[in-house]
């Protein structure tokens, strides 16, 4: 947050400033893996003004989806079955489910 504030002071374009702050953090190994994986989510939250509760909720949901995918995969369920269950259980869009499978499905 501190770094993002510093970059925001230097650039009138808030989105550009926040992208530069994220790049700076990644290049300087500050939360490198996390920012590499969740860059879009972090940028979105920074643009909306950081909401810690929303951030925690997002991380809990992400963990729940990952666990669901991993458990069903370990039970030898097909990718199509897992996709159908995610669509049914979490009322996500097909695009969101495909992204979750891309992230968490272990080939």
* pLDDT one-digit tens code per residue, 51-78: 566 666 777 777 888 888 998 999 999 9
**Cα Rg for the chain, rounded, in angstroms?**
17
pLDDT recorded at residue 94: 92
Distance CA 62, CA 98 (A): 14
**Low-confidence residues of the chain, pLDDT below 50?**
none
Q: 0.85 exceeded by the pTM?
A: no
């Amino acid at each position: 947050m501190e770094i993002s504030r510093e970059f925001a002071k230097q650039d009138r374009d808030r989105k550009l400033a926040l992208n530069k702050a994220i790049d700076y953090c990644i290049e300087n190994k500050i939360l490198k893996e996390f920012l590499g994986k969740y860059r879009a989510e972090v940028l979105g939250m920074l643009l909306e003004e950081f909401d810690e509760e929303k951030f925690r909720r997002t991380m809990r949901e992400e963990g729940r989806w990952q666990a669901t995918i991993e458990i069903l995969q370990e039970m030898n369920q097909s990718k199509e079955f897992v996709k159908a269950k995610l669509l049914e259980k979490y009322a996500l869009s097909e695009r969101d489910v495909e992204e979750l499978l891309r992230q968490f499905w272990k080939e």
